[in-house]
Structure 1
Amino acid sequence: MITRRAAIATSLAASAATLSIGGPTMARPAPPAGFVRREGMALTLDGRPYRFVGANLWYAAWIGDRPRLGRELDALAGLGVTNLRIAASAELSPLKNSVRPAFRDEAGAYDERLLTGLDHAMAEIGKRGLKAVLYLTNFWEWSGGMATYLLWTNGGRYIDMNDPAHPWPAFPDFVAGFYRSPEAVALYHDHVRRIVGRMNSVTGVPYAEDPAIMAWQLANEPRPGGSDPVADQSLADFHDWIGATARLIKSIDPNHLVSTGGEGLKGSMEREDLVLSSQAFDDIDYTTAHLWPGNWGWLDRSDMAGTHGRAMTQSADYIARHIALARRLDRPLVLEEFGYPRDGDVYSPDAPTTLRDAFYGMIHDAVLTSVRAGDPLVGSNFWAWNGEGRAAHADARFRPGDDAFLGDPPHEPQGWYGVFDSDASTLERIRAHAVALTAAG
């Protein structure tokens, strides 16, 4: 007997094999010089391979201290970091731990501080010859995200992530309702038009013509759900959302790449068919994966030394599986989020990073091996850059009104995964990897 799930998997695998889930795409002229392009499993820039060492700097638009913004970008550029992944959205939300301020509210009113903050960040990124990947909403609660679009259109109903009354996977299963809500998706598409079609108020250059942008991402970590039944129920709408949004972005801005921002297998209930089908759209230019051994139970944070070897082995296997999937898709692959706790799972900048450094080294080796072999893994972005930021409170928790943003978002302890400017051994790892990647040609 063929089960419903088996039938879905067979159908999706067949669709993925054609690489045309999104429907026919009109041929577009090549972008002008200075824009990153996709050529098969490679990214190129002005005719040369584009490989990179990257960082997540989600809060770039929130850095109101312009001198600090410049110092942070100078520090990253000095390490050889050339690619930054940045939030270009946040929805004003009642969800616990959602960031303030937000880009927009339910009425569609925008906070000009964040719009101009994003403009300043892009202007400064461009001055330094760096590239940015901008994501346009979030599956998770910490920036409002899809759950907020949904509650704006369903009469105000929502649940909080990590609410004991709604244990996992209640939150991601709830958020999957976003794809099935035409009203919620329409509000999100309004934001896409607003940002992708924006002219930078600092440079006077439309975002669509700015070579400092490498790519737009549909969202941070979009999932079809948190459980197999809900994912199967949502899948057609999830695919419709991917295809429609990617086409919308390309219609406004044909110069830049587009990716989903997905986690890979962990965001797809470990199902290869879901990864392949979500990345097989003509307008999705490259595939992505995220890697969190401490969040996924591979690393026991109460026994880091005893479980580090297991976490490293499983992480290396996870990367290899995504390289194989990217080959099947004939797409470049970016490991655009990866994080590891400080030794002892503490948050102080004074705590050593011995195990984290080894984890970073394994990832850097995987990228170099892929580049040298002509395989699809072309870059990585560590999570995340804390730089000179420091937690304002003894418990390392973000509180409303705090304005010294760090790479650890408001729902997480500040210092948990972020890299400080004082983390000398980690910084040297990043610097050495940048040199090696450049030497690889």
Structure 2
Amino acid sequence: MKHLGFALILAILIHRQCFPIHVEAGDGFIRARGAHFLLNGNLYFANGFNAYWLMYMASDPSQRSKVSAAFHEASTHGLTVARTWAFSDGGYRPLQYSPGSYNEQTFKGLDFVIAEARRYGIKLILSLANNYDSFGGKKQYVNWARSQGQYLTSDDDFFRNPVVKGYYKNHIRTVLNRYNSFTGIHYKDDQTIMAWELMNEPRCTSDPSGRTIQAWIREMASHVKSIDRNHLLEAGIEGFYGQSTPQRKGLNPGIEIGTDFIANNRIPGIDFATVHSYPDQWLSSSNEQYQISFLNNWLNAHIKDAQYILRKPILLTEFGKSRKDPGFSTYQRDLLFKTVYYKIYSSAKRGGAAGGGLFWQLLTEGMDSFRDGYEIVLSQSPSTANVIAEQAHKLDQIRKIFARMRNIERWKRARAIRGRHIGN
């Protein structure tokens, strides 16, 4: 009776406070309605992972089994969303080897990733550029423009220079209009893709006021939506508070990088908010207890602001704990995961804005060269794998309760309509 009582209370809370009963018929795309994700009219949670390496690995047909293995292992642990790179600019085995020129073999790797994700029931968040130098990043775009005679003094000119912005807009067009050689579906029409991400962790330290990044997100969000209105879009920001909410800046871990959590996510076309959390990096000189306390406050503030100020869903798109940290233990990593997952679950069961979390990063066996300290190999990390699977189960229970309530409401409406007809 105790569990049934909880289920009923939860369902009533979610139903009354948060969800419209008249939800349009689904078309297979994940939507944002108010502060929630919906799939075919039902509540959707993204319990997921990062795997930036998927396209890179799949561009070599002999290595594609690693992609399949990762998706298989993820799906058996209830993971539903993968975030990965849809960029590789210049350098070794690139996707885009010069502005507007693409390596078909690498693009076929991304085609394969999308096809395999579809096969395993995993949705994708595809990031379109990198703030950092790995896989090219904004530095490569700026260097391409320099080679064409543009006088540019900073990598941050990525956000300002019209030529560079033209290169990036062309990349957006090319990726969104790509015809998948495995599925026969254009990316912009593919339900496997949950969302596009403008950039992995955009930063513009040359303009801490935030105006440069704000203008860039506004311009690029409009460009994406002019091509593709099927998919959700997010900016890729880490969640640092900026000039629009000076009272919140005290929550930041002393980092000023020209982004603004509230202002950036208020931009039309940005469908949901994102936040990253690495207390072990950001507060490396502090102890474990302080880092967990920071994490709790950081997530509380962002979930609350997403719900009451932005009125949009929020995803924790990166979090983790490195085994390279002094005194690392699996127990500490599991504690961090449990802390993150509890915040998400607590919000979700109240009908709040937290839509899920994606840990950094998932690897499969035989990928030792990709280890960065944060890696999770599910078969080698049984306690962490159990924490992940338990979260998937708990979020699925909330989803099922909402679906049940929705079916009850449909039945009541149908009965009322029948009653009116009989009365006539």
Query: In 1, Cα distance between the equivalents of 2:261 and 2:37?
Result: 20
The sequence identity of aligned pairs, in percent, is 28
Q: Residues 343 and 352 of structure 1 are in contact (CA less than 8 Å); yes or no, is this contact kept in structure 2?
A: no
Q: Which of 69, 77, 80 pairs up with 1:79?
A: 77
Q: Flag the 1:426–1:119 CA change in 2: closer, same or farther, 3 A.
A: same
- Listed as ranges, the matches of 1:19-38 within 5 Å are 33-38=27-32
TM-score normalised by the chain length of structure 1: 0.76
Residue in structure 1 matched with residue 197 of structure 2 by the alignment: 217
C-alpha displacement at 1:240, in angstroms?
2.6
Structure 1 unaligned residues grouped into runs of 5+: 1-29, 94-99, 158-172, 301-306, 393-405, 407-413
SS at match of 2:280: coil
Q: Which of 95, 103, 109 pairs up with 1:117?
A: 109
Residue in structure 1 matched with residue 375 of structure 2 by the alignment: 418
Q: Residues 81 and 124 of structure 2 are in contact (CA less than 8 Å); yes or no, is this contact kept in structure 1?
A: yes
Q: Residues 37 and 45 of structure 1 are in contact (CA less than 8 Å); yes or no, is this contact kept in structure 2?
A: yes
Structure 2 unaligned residues grouped into runs of 5+: 1-23, 244-248, 400-424
SS at match of 2:318: strand
Query: In 2, Cα distance between the equivalents of 1:316 and 1:142?
Result: 31
Residue in structure 2 matched with residue 142 of structure 1 by the alignment: 134
Q: Residues 153 and 184 of structure 1 are in contact (CA less than 8 Å); yes or no, is this contact kept in structure 2?
A: yes
| 1:175 and 2:152 matched | no
Residue in structure 2 matched with residue 47 of structure 1 by the alignment: 41
C-alpha displacement at 1:231, in angstroms?
2.4
Query: In 2, Cα distance between the equivalents of 1:316 and 1:137?
Result: 30
SS at match of 1:154: helix
Q: Which of 183, 206, 216 pairs up with 2:186?
A: 206
1:334-369 CA distance string (max 9 Å, x none) = 0000011127559xxxx8522111100000100000
Residue in structure 1 matched with residue 231 of structure 2 by the alignment: 256
C-alpha displacement at 1:128, in angstroms?
1.6
C-alpha displacement at 1:174, in angstroms?
3.7
C-alpha displacement at 1:243, in angstroms?
1.7
Q: Flag the 1:116–1:266 CA change in 2: closer, same or farther, 3 A.
A: farther
SS at match of 2:279: coil
SS at match of 1:84: strand
Q: Residues 347 and 353 of structure 2 are in contact (CA less than 8 Å); yes or no, is this contact kept in structure 1?
A: yes
Q: Give the aligned residue type for 1:254.
A: R
Residue in structure 1 matched with residue 3 of structure 2 by the alignment: none
Residue in structure 2 matched with residue 69 of structure 1 by the alignment: 67
Q: Residues 95 and 106 of structure 2 are in contact (CA less than 8 Å); yes or no, is this contact kept in structure 1?
A: yes
Query: In 2, Cα distance between the equivalents of 1:361 and 1:267?
Result: 29
Query: In 1, Cα distance between the equivalents of 2:212 and 2:25?
Result: 31
| 1:432 and 2:390 matched | yes
- Listed as ranges, the matches of 1:25-424 within 5 Å are 33-63=27-57, 64=60, 65-93=63-91, 100-155=92-147, 174-223=154-203, 225-226=204-205, 230-232=207-209, 235-265=210-240, 270=252, 274-298=260-284, 300=286, 307-327=287-307, 328-342=309-323, 345=326, 352-392=329-369, 406=370, 414-421=371-378, 422-424=380-382
Query: In 2, Cα distance between the equivalents of 1:428 and 1:122?
Result: 27
C-alpha displacement at 1:297, in angstroms?
1.8
RMSD of aligned alpha carbons: 2.5
Query: In 2, Cα distance between the equivalents of 1:434 and 1:312?
Result: 22
C-alpha displacement at 1:177, in angstroms?
2.1
Residue in structure 2 matched with residue 97 of structure 1 by the alignment: none
Query: In 1, Cα distance between the equivalents of 2:239 and 2:325?
Result: 28
Query: In 2, Cα distance between the equivalents of 1:147 and 1:273?
Result: 18
Query: In 2, Cα distance between the equivalents of 1:299 and 1:391?
Result: 28
Q: Give the aligned residue type for 2:175.
A: I
Query: In 2, Cα distance between the equivalents of 1:136 and 1:175?
Result: 17
**If you compute each CA radius of gyration, which structure gives the higher value, 1 or 2?**
2
Q: Residues 343 and 356 of structure 1 are in contact (CA less than 8 Å); yes or no, is this contact kept in structure 2?
A: no
